[in-house]
Amino acid sequence: MGFDCSIALDAGGLPHIAYQNQSSSRLEYARRNGAAWAKQPVDDMDGVRCCTAIAVNASGIPFIGYATSSPAGWGKLVAWNGTAWEVMAQASLSAFFVNLAFDSRDRLHTSDVYAYRILSQGAWINESYDAASFGALALAAGDLPRIAFVDADNSLKFAWAYATPQRPSAPENLEAFGGDGQVFARWQAPAWDGGSSVTGYVVYRGTAPGSGVAVTTLGNATSWTDVGVTNGVTYYYRVAAVNSVGEGPPSDEVTAIPSGPGDDPPSCAITSPTGGIVRGNVTVRGTATDPENSLARVEVRVDQGTWITAAGTSAWTYTWNTSALVDGPHTVAARAWDGSLYSAACSVTVTTDNGVVGPDGDGNGDFLRDYAWVLAVLIVVPLALGILILARRRRRPPAKPGQPEST
């Protein structure tokens, strides 16, 4: 008969149990009085659908929370007043009481999918959090709640309360947009204010990843326009929230590139080669365009080498000596420059096949470094043989016996 049961112990260590009557779906209660069990019905009207929770206060009074069967699944809270079960919270879709615990001050704590709540002197104190499940509740030293729950993304989370305020968490969803000589940034408040209201934000800016320094301190605003920037430069931004305790951790980093009116970045493409195997000197060809027709140059590099200016702009070429590298896959990249902005890099990957392999056969090496001795042998040996043959031809024959040597 004891479906969906829950148990709590009173100050004397005696068990109190709430459960569902299987045949009637009625909420029932059983208490051990020391020698026997006393049982009684609790709710014949709404009944219980699932998820009972029971807690006993310092006076031995049991409180039972549960999801009712009518209306389907709504939460309800009742307590024994000495003569009858008193409804402490009517059945409601906006509150459930499936986790109950009394603290050292005899206040009732509960958590559900909507909020964390405290019943203190007959009034509820509510605080929302990002739960999507009923979860579980426990009280730590100092009557501080600890809650396990699942959020809307089905991630398991653990939430806890502090006795004193903490620094806020990082602002969320930072975005930055480049304009003419300015960057507009916006963000959302941190998910947790640290128990103390957010009073302001610090904006960090840099020109390389992770290099930002504080450039402004704002009040409680969630947007800002940066006018101390130069068109065509990439800027990196992060924002941190501030409360009465101090500054919290910064947000994720975002980038923005300010540009003048109608100043859009150029684009480029590699038209040849398109992949496959290449040998010897290869002419890399491509095209580039700029919305304002202000192409300045096109740059090309192989793998992670130095950017080298190509010949031409809208139609450009670059001669690549593939035999200078060991055989294997290599990436040729190009980018266009309009005097203010670079295009996104375009690239193609090809495989070189010139019979040049690394010293270990792994395709990693330098041809001259690894095979200079072979070149030396091929050059020096024939040269030495030629000198020796020439010397033998120039040697005069020896004089015959009795014949004076010529002078």
Q: At the fourth CATH level, which superfamily is domain 172-256?
A: Immunoglobulins (2.60.40.10)
Cβ-contact 69, 59 below 8 angstroms: no
Cβ-contact 18, 42 below 8 angstroms: yes
- The model scores a pTM over 0.75: no
State pLDDT tens for residues 361-372: 555 445 555 555
Q: What does the angle CA 224 – CA 225 – CA 227 come to, to the nearest 5 degrees? A: 145
For the CA atoms of 311, 312, 314, 318, the dihedral, rounded to the nearest 10 degrees, stands at: -10
Low-confidence ranges of the chain (pLDDT < 70): 71-72, 262, 358-377, 380-381, 391-407
The whole-angstrom separation of Cα 231 and Cα 316 is 26
CATH class of 267-352: mainly beta
Question: Residue 129 class from Cβ within 10 Å (0-12 exposed, 13-18 middle, 19+ buried)?
Answer: middle
pLDDT at 60: 92
> In terms of Cα–Cα distance, which of 231, 301, 239, 238 is closest to 264?
231
Residue 172 C-beta-side C-alpha neighbours within 13 Å: 8
pLDDT at 96: 86
276-298: b (≥16 Cβ within 10 Å) or e: eebeeebebbbbbebeeeebebb
State pLDDT tens for residues 222-253: 999 999 999 888 999 999 999 999 999 999 99
H/E stretch holding 201 reads strand 200-206
Cβ neighbours around 260 below 10 Å, total: 14
pLDDT at 407: 45
CATH class of 3-160: mainly beta
